[in-house]
Amino acid sequence: MKQIETDLSKEKEQFMKLGIREQDLLGQLAEIEQKIAKKRKSLEEIKEKLQFNQKRLKRQQETLRHLEQSSKAVRERLGKRLTAFYKYAKRGYVHILTTSQDLEELRKRMKYLQVIMNEDQNLLQQLAEVEQKINQEIALIEERVRIIDGMKKAEGARLSSIKEDQDKKVFLLMKVHNEKEFYETLVKELQRASQNLKETLLDLDRKQKKKEVLPSGFANSKGRLPMPFHGKIIRSHNRWGVDIVKTQKGIFIQGPLGSEVKAVFPGRVDFSGWLKGYGQTIVINHGSRFFTVSAHLSERYSEEGDTVEKGTVIGLLGHTGPFEKPRLYFEIRRAGTPLNPLKWVKVR
């Protein structure tokens, strides 16, 4: 009996270690998701800088091409005037034997040509200086483009490395427990996240009772609310085979990364921040204890306390959570009770 109790104690200890290891790995995965989101944002910023400098380089090269054409035209004009100048000079030897009036006229014309040629030479000098300056600027921009392109490649490599680390962590997590237990663990984590969101909304609802009442016609908008963005409503499993939808109270809307997410009804932002399991999240209070939740954002444009109108862009669609493609999590609640969004929004 004592031996059995000892063995049982060892098994319990090993089980607890496995549980702690699972939680640790899940925490690491959550951190990796945040890192991936940051790297994606950084990579987009670098791409924008690269595109800006490439456009600037193209404009400068076009300016240089026009200057070179102008310089060529001035040189051709100057060459023709030089030819005319020498013709007049040659004629001078003939006219010197004629009347003084003809000679004086020739001198005036030669002086006039000399003045014009001096102006052309000055213009050529100015064009040459501008060309030199633009060439220097082009060299600087080309160097900047080279550096930024290197940054883009390095950031892309770092993003790939983080994704590889994510895959390794997932593989290790699956080794810690068999697939069934891993799926159960993942679902439990999502259920905890759902409970955290519920508690957050209940807390916001309690606080709302103490504040001024927001005017609301939300209840009269059932079936007429717009989608937060035009996307595809998803009902599917995640990449590990777990039915994520069953653990949530709202809907998932799939669309292009960076799509603008909009408020579906006027209200006040009561929460704007990061929620475990939901990523960047915004909760809008529409009055009469109605709330909408938009989660898995890459950017939050609205902060707590902001007043928003119907159609206000509150953020951008991100790529967080256990999904292969970017998805928005959208939920409607009243006094802490989840409502079916499909009965409230106009679905095309």
- Residue 102: count other Cβ atoms within 10 Å of its Cβ: 15
The pair phi, psi for residue 63, each rounded to 5°, is: -60, -45
**Reported pTM:** 0.48
For residue 8, the model assigns a pLDDT of: 36
For residue 82, give the amino acid letter: L
| Residue 33: C-alpha distances to residues 5, 17, 175 (Å) | 42, 24, 20
* Mean pLDDT on 102-107: 63
- For CA atoms 54, 60, 65, 66, the dihedral sign is positive
- Is the pLDDT confidence value at 15 over 80? no
* Mean pLDDT on 299-306: 93
Please state which CATH number belongs to domain 2-176: 1.10.287
* Mean pLDDT on 241-269: 79
* Mean pLDDT on 75-99: 58
DSSP states along 169-226 = HHHHHHHHS-HHHHHHHHHHHHHHHHHHHHHHHHHHHHHHHHSPPPP--GGGGTTTBP
For residue 238, the model assigns a pLDDT of: 41
Chosen CATH of 197-343 out of 2.60.200.20, 3.30.565.10, 3.40.50.1820, 2.70.70.10: 2.70.70.10
For residue 3, the model assigns a pLDDT of: 32
Query: Which of 248, 227, 228 shows the shortest CA–CA distance to 237?
Result: 248
> Over the chain, what is the mean pLDDT?
75
Q: How far apart are the first and last CA of the chain?
A: 67
Name the CA dihedral angle for 136, 141, 145, 148, rounded to a multiple of 10 degrees. 110
For residue 78, the model assigns a pLDDT of: 65
Structure tokens at 268: 């006040």
- Is the pLDDT confidence value at 346 over 80? yes
Helix (H, G, I), strand (E, B) or coil at 292: strand
Would you mind telling me the total number of residues written for the chain in this entry?
Answer: 348
Is residue 127 within 8 Å of residue 71, measured between CB atoms? yes
* Mean pLDDT on 131-146: 82
- Residue 289: count other Cβ atoms within 10 Å of its Cβ: 21
Name the CA dihedral angle for 49, 54, 55, 59, rounded to a multiple of 10 degrees. 140
Q: Delimit the domains of the chain by residue range.
A: 2-176, 197-343
Q: How confident is residue 308, by pLDDT bands cut at 50, 70 and 90? A: very high
- Is the pLDDT confidence value at 134 over 50? yes
Is the model more confident about 93 or about 106?
106
* % residues pLDDT > 90 (the chain): 23
Helix (H, G, I), strand (E, B) or coil at 233: strand
Is the model more confident about 145 or about 283?
283
- Residue 50: count other Cβ atoms within 10 Å of its Cβ: 17
- Is the pLDDT confidence value at 215 over 70? no
Q: How confident is residue 169, by pLDDT bands cut at 50, 70 and 90? A: confident
Cα 250 to chain centroid distance, Å, stands at 26
Burial 305-330 (b: 16+ CB within 10 A, else e): ebebeeebebbbbbbbbbbeebbbbb
- Is the pLDDT confidence value at 59 over 80? yes
- Is the pLDDT confidence value at 9 over 50? no
d(CA 68, CA 78): 15
Q: Are both 2-176 and 197-343 of the same fold? A: no
Query: Which of 228, 256, 233 shows the shortest CA–CA distance to 312?
Result: 228
Residue reference for tokens 């023709």:
80
Contacts of 162 (CB under 8 A, 6+ apart): 32, 35, 36, 39
- Is the pLDDT confidence value at 16 over 60? no
Helix (H, G, I), strand (E, B) or coil at 235: coil
Which H/E stretch holds residue 101? helix 100-176
